[in-house]
Amino acid sequence: MSLNIDNVALSDLLCSLYGSAASSQATNKDFLTRLKGMLNLQHATLIVRPPTTHDAGLIYTSGEDSDVALLGTEEGSYTQLYAQDPLINLPLKEVVTLDEHTPRAQLLKSEYYELFLEPFDIYYIAGIDWAYDKNSRISIRFTREKKQGNFTEEEKEFLRLLIPHLEQSVALGIQLRQLDSERQIYADSIARRSIGIFTLDKQGAILQSNTKAEQFLKAADGFHQAQNKIKLNNSSLNETFNKQVHDAIDLVRRNERAQVYALSVPRDNGKQPYQLLIKPLPVAPHDESDVTPYVTVLIQDPEKNLEISVRTLMDLYQLTMSEATIAILLAEGHTTDEVAAELDIKKNTVRAHLRSMFVKMGVTQQSMLVTLVLTSLASAQ
């Protein structure tokens, strides 16, 4: 067939490709479906992780759900299909057709054709492989029925032009998923410490805030939001806060060494003051814009206890359930008398547990034990 692809169609195709990488909800289906229509394909299939006997793999297929079913509805069919694929491990970043790999007469007599191609009306196949890292190979396959004709040189040249875009978009998508996973780990850890996080722009206005920060703002206990900025309820302290924020922004603009500012913010309800940190963020000149974060503001409520995993603490130091519970209560600031009362045991029993815990955790003082608990991974889950 002769290609007749206008600039609008090509632009939409590339937008759908990069859009699938940027969206956590994307499945690459829109790009593959557009490509299917553009090149008159039976199927376009992206194999991010090839299936094995123990893993279904990660495969995206063009079109409706019926297209996916057409490639194999029985359990293990994907595994069998790609295990027998003659185009497996192609030369990297080259467009290869099935006819270039296996003479047509030989293919039509093969078991692979009879079992995996003919039942699904697959007659022509073209493929591209590229490497994501040293150990990962990503593949894309294009199939046609006999009536759709074989792949022309013009079509193969068009597919070659797509190779760098395929490489970049898939790599970007994988990296974004990894970053999102890491972000979630950090966010969970921050949430356990009851820390609110704000990012501010070059005017000191709020760009983003996490859930805990929004809860603090809603409570308006010690500070609130006014004209999209953080405003402390204490007017004198608010002036200090604004000066420190703008000093931090100036440090960023002048590309000078970052200085962290700290404030204790009194609360109207009489509880312990919030702990507030103002930290400049490095900004490259070429990245500067109206939505670039210049400052991070961290706010912690010291009244909120740190959530520490009993099970993880037990596993880390081979503690019993009772020992781990006592360690957590001590880390939360309770005295041995309070621990005894809380657990309804004798004070001598608490002391006996402590001696055992000292040995298991390799410490000699209660303060060292508390520090070890607070800095362990049991408090970061």
Per-residue pLDDT of the chain (381 residues; tens, 9 = 90+): 557 788 899 999 999 998 887 765 545 578 999 999 999 999 998 888 877 667 667 788 887 554 443 343 344 454 555 656 678 788 999 999 999 988 899 989 988 888 888 888 999 999 999 998 777 889 999 999 999 999 999 999 999 999 999 999 988 888 887 777 766 766 665 666 678 899 999 999 999 998 889 999 999 999 999 999 999 999 999 999 999 999 999 989 888 887 899 999 999 888 889 999 999 988 887 777 888 999 999 998 877 655 677 888 889 999 999 999 999 888 878 888 889 998 999 999 999 999 999 999 999 988 889 888 887 776 655
H/E segment holding residue 10: helix 7-22
Looking at 243, 276, 300, which one is the last position of a domain? 300
For residue 36, give its domain range: 7-182
**Would residue 244 count as lying in a domain?**
yes
Task: Kindly state whether residues 132 and 222 are assigned to the same domain.
Answer: no
Same domain, 268 and 142: no
Is residue 2 one of the residues assigned to a domain?
A: no
Q: Which two tokens stand for residue 249?
A: 């922004």
Question: CA 208 to CA 97: how far, in whole Å?
Answer: 49
Contact 330, 237 (CB under 8 A): no
- CA dist 97 and 292 (Å) reads 47
Q: Do 26 and 174 sit in the same domain of this protein? A: yes
Task: Give the Cα separation of 42 and 121 in Å (integer).
Answer: 9
Determine the pLDDT at residue 189.
58
Q: Are residues 241 and 332 in the same domain?
A: no
49 with 165, same domain: the answer is: yes
Helical ranges in 39-93 per DSSP H: 65-70, 77-83
Instruction: Judge if 13 and 41 occupy the same domain.
Output: yes
51 in helix, strand or coil?
A: coil
The CATH number linked to 372 is 1.10.10.10
C-beta of residue 133 within 8 angstroms of C-beta of residue 187 = no
CA distance 46 to 58: 8
Distances (CA, A) of 48 to 71, 83, 128: 16, 15, 12
Residue 317 lies inside a defined structural domain of this protein: yes
Which residues on neighbouring strands pair with residue 374, listed in sequence order? none
Answer yes or no: do 132 and 33 share one domain: yes
Same domain, 370 and 274: no
Q: Which stretches does DSSP call E strand in 146-285? A: 195-200, 206-209, 223-226, 229-232, 261-265, 274-280
Cβ atoms of 198 and 208 within 8 Å: the answer is yes
Q: How many CB atoms lie within 10 A of CB 356?
A: 15
Q: What is the dihedral of CA 340, 345, 347, 349, to 10 degrees?
A: -120
Pairing of strands 295-300, 223-226: unpaired
Residue 259, SS3 per DSSP = coil
Same domain for 112 and 252: no
Please report the pLDDT score of residue 71 as a whole number.
41
* Within a domain: 305: no
Domain boundary among 300, 325, 356: 300
The pLDDT of residue 300 is 87
SS3 label, residue 143: strand
pTM: 0.63
- At residue 163, φ and ψ (nearest 5 deg) are -55, -50
156 within some domain: yes
Query: What is the CA angle 103-107-109, rounded to 5?
Result: 125
The residue from 182, 208, 225 where one domain ends is 182
Q: For 61-69, which contacts have Cβ atoms below 8 Å and span 24 or more sequence positions?
A: 61/29, 61/32, 62/29, 62/32, 62/33, 62/35, 62/36, 63/29, 63/32, 63/33, 63/36, 67/43
- Rg over alpha carbons for the chain, rounded to the nearest Å, is 30
Q: Find all residues with CB under 8 Å of 350, minimum gap 6, and list them.
A: 326, 336, 339, 340, 343
- Count of domains observed in the chain: 3
Is the alpha carbon torsion for 46, 50, 51, 57 positive or negative?
negative
